[in-house]
Amino acid sequence: MATTALQVLYPNSRPSYDNKDTWLTLEETAVEKRFDMIFRPTYDFPGDYIDGYHKFLASAPIFPDNLAEGCIDIGYEGWLLPADACKLYELAYFNPDVLEIGTYRGLSSAVMSHAIVNAGNGGQIVTVDLDPVHQYVARVAHDTRKVPGRENIHYFVFDGTEFVRSLYEREEPRLFQMVFVDHTHVYEPMLDICPLLHKVTAPGGFVLFHDYNDQRNANPEALDFGVYQAVNETLSKEHFEFYGIFGACGLYRRR
């Protein structure tokens, strides 16, 4: 018998919209378009938002421009636009087994944990960061703010690429329904991790790349940006298809 929100409201929750028409070329991203690429659903749900928390994210308070232009301020440092946060929430709601590369101070993991708990099916977030201090701050923030589901957030201090390797080199490779890649916007480290992602993403699952739609990727003087290029050059096309651009994020689905 169906007992959770996800089972009752969405008994056959499969993605309905591939949003392929949101594709942007690198040249098109060279002009600021993060605010034009609004949240659009990947799943079918009645109304514009899944629930009240999803709607809250869409109109959450915003940091002052000099701190984090256009980014939501819900009590954590971080750089998520409303469209980024809404897409993270939606994906985690329907795909509650999450790997996050780049915890920082816990903003994105808090958003996804709310989604997992509100969907009611149980689930977990495995989050990895190279910096133990950031991750400690994230843990404390989750505890202090009593983030629902925080007992199911598992924190690891590790290099993201090495961590991914360790997950698929196990005797039984660990596959996730959703992977959020947000540890770097530099081309070379993105080149290292992109070709490995199909090995930790379950068939039908998603990888969401932050900073994919950022005008600095196309700027030859911004030497520390190259997410768009790294993803398009090295994410396996055999295993992934493009599924939309929302805010600063690019979404790919595992075939």
Residue ranges that bind ligand SAM, judged by CB under 6 A: 78, 80, 101-104, 107-108, 128-131, 134, 159-160, 182-184, 189
Q: Which two tokens stand for residue 244?
A: 């939309």
Shortest Å, Cβ 18 to ligand SAM: 24
For ligand SAM, the closer CB: 49 or 104: 104
Smallest separation (angstroms) from ligand SAM to the CB of 11? 31
Which of 116, 96, 46, 104 shows the shortest CA–CA distance to 80?
A: 104
Question: Given the complex with ligand SAM, which of 160 and 244 has the nearer CB atom?
Answer: 160
- H helix and E strand count, the chain: 10, 7
- Tokens 């149980």 belong to residue: 122
Instruction: Quickly count: other Cβ atoms within 10 Å of residue 204's Cβ.
Output: 12
Report the run of H or E that residue 144 belongs to, with start and end. helix 132-144
Cβ proximity to ligand SAM: between 6 and 211 the closer is 211
For ligand SAM, give the closer residue by CB, 128 or 196. Answer: 128
Direct distance between the N- and C-terminal alpha carbons of the chain, in angstroms, rounded to an integer: 30
d(CA 88, CA 107): 11
Q: How far is the CB of 16 from ligand SAM (least distance, A)?
A: 26
Sheet holding 201-209, edge to edge: 153-157, 124-129, 97-101, 176-181, 201-209, 249-254, 240-246
Q: Minimum distance between the CB of residue 107 and ligand SAM, rounded to whole angstroms?
A: 3
Measured from the CB atom, the residue of 128 and 194 that comes closer to ligand SAM is 128
Question: Residue 174 gets which letter from DSSP?
Answer: -
The nearest distance, CB 152 to ligand SAM, in angstroms, is 17
Query: Judged by CB, which is closer to ligand SAM: 97, or 129?
Result: 129
Q: Is 37 exposed, middle or buried (0-12, 13-18, 19+ CB in 10 A)?
A: buried
Q: Cβ 80 to ligand SAM, closest distance in Å? A: 5
